[in-house]
Amino acid sequence: MVNVLYFASFREMLGKADEQLPANHSTVDSLIVELASRGDNWKQALLDNQNLQIAVNHDVANRQTEIRAGDEIAFFPPVTGG
């Protein structure tokens, strides 16, 4: 399994903060494609979004980053702290 997290406006738009999914993707990109097939809001947030931010195991990642069982993958909008 992989743990997938959604933060800030993504959490609200997608209606969930986190979920466990089977580890049947080898890259973030492949996972995004599956998630985007859930509906328009998923496609808009993850697939069509030029500003999508990704982290794998707490490190900044991108769509080409490889993933495996046990990983924590997070999707979020650009950060606005400080």
**Could you list the residues that contact other proteins (CB under 8 A)?**
5, 7-9, 51, 55, 58-60, 74, 76-82
C-beta closer to other proteins: residue 60 or 69: 60
Q: Are the beta carbons of 4 and 73 closer than 8 angstroms?
A: yes
Give the residue carrying structure tokens 């069982």.
69
Q: How far is the CB of 75 from other proteins (least distance, A)?
A: 11
Give the residue carrying structure tokens 């089977």.
22
Length of the chain: 82
Query: Which residue type is seen at 50?
Result: Q
Q: How far is the CB of 10 from other proteins (least distance, A)?
A: 9
Q: How far is the CB of 17 from other proteins (least distance, A)?
A: 10
